[in-house]
Structure 1
Amino acid sequence: MAETDILVTRETKRSYGLVRGSIAILCLGLPFLGRQRIQVTTERVIIESGFLTKVRDDVEVFRIRDVVTTQPLWHRLLGIGDVIIKATEGRTEERHTLRGVPDPIAVAEAIRQAWNQAARPRSATNIDG
């Protein structure tokens, strides 16, 4: 079965906060070029970030153990939040934080949906001879 996209989104500009965002605009002029790009497929969650140095982190869906969303009051008013993906690699736990994601509940649900599809056993073909 081919890998298909379930969700593609980006970290929002508003996640920097009012004060930090204003300072970044005044000092740098280009504060949002290194935002995260999040892609949820049927097989993995792809997190890309960086401007000068690009970083790509692939989290295989079958390794995900928990998805947590956090939304402080300021983020709830803006409709954004953080999504924390907890995955296992061998015996160690990895944490991947997606910061300032628009509609974090929908992103968490998309990840959960991909995990459920990966966790279901594939239907075996009946061979009657």
Structure 2
Amino acid sequence: MTLPEEMAMAETDILVTRESRRSFGLLRGGLALLMLGLPFLGRQRIRVTSERVIVEEGFWTKVRDDVEVFRIRDVVSKQAIWHRLLGIGDVVIKATEGRAEETHTLRGVPDPVAVSEAIRAAWNASARPRGSTNLD
């Protein structure tokens, strides 16, 4: 493989965001403040690249979940009324692993519609054959 081919296949970031602190709600937010803010440190970190969606979460125990873009079957954004007022929401990714369906929920994402559109754009780019420019 030549150097230009390797560069063309390199994974590129499309979006990097994290769960909003406002997504905890009133009760959970109050409890978090009482616990010295530790739950805020374990928030989700979300990275959408050209090849996968990476969700990292946890403070004491780190968990990283990679969802390959080509496995994604559906992306749903959900916003309750109080989330719309705050400009946050949830993005639900439905993917397949073999014959089973997986569901991944990205909680408290700022501008969930833009995040779901970024994931959709990455999926569309991966679904098209590489090197093909015309649609005939």
Q: Same fold (TM over 0.5)?
A: yes
* Distance in 1 (alpha carbons) for counterparts of 2:54 and 2:25: 25
Higher relative helix content: 2
Tell me, yes or no, if structure 1 residue 13 matches structure 2 residue 21. yes
Among 57, 65, 69, the alignment partner of 1:61 is: 69
Any gaps of 5 or more consecutive residues in structure 1? 125-129
**What are the Cα deviations for residues 23-76 of structure 1, in whole angstroms up to 9, with x where unaligned?**
220134323010000000000000000001000000000000000010000100
Alignment partner of 2:34 out of 26, 32, 35: 26
RMSD (Å), alpha carbons: 1.0
SS in structure 2 at match of 1:123: coil
1:37–1:29 Cα change, 3 Å: closer
CA distance in 1 between counterparts of 2:13 and 2:37 reads 33
The offset of 1:122, in angstroms, is 1.4
The Cα offsets for residues 53-104 of structure 1, whole Å up to 9 and x where unpaired, read as 0000000000000000100001000000000000000100000000000000
Report the TM-score, using the length of structure 2 for normalisation.
0.88
Aligned to 2:95: 87
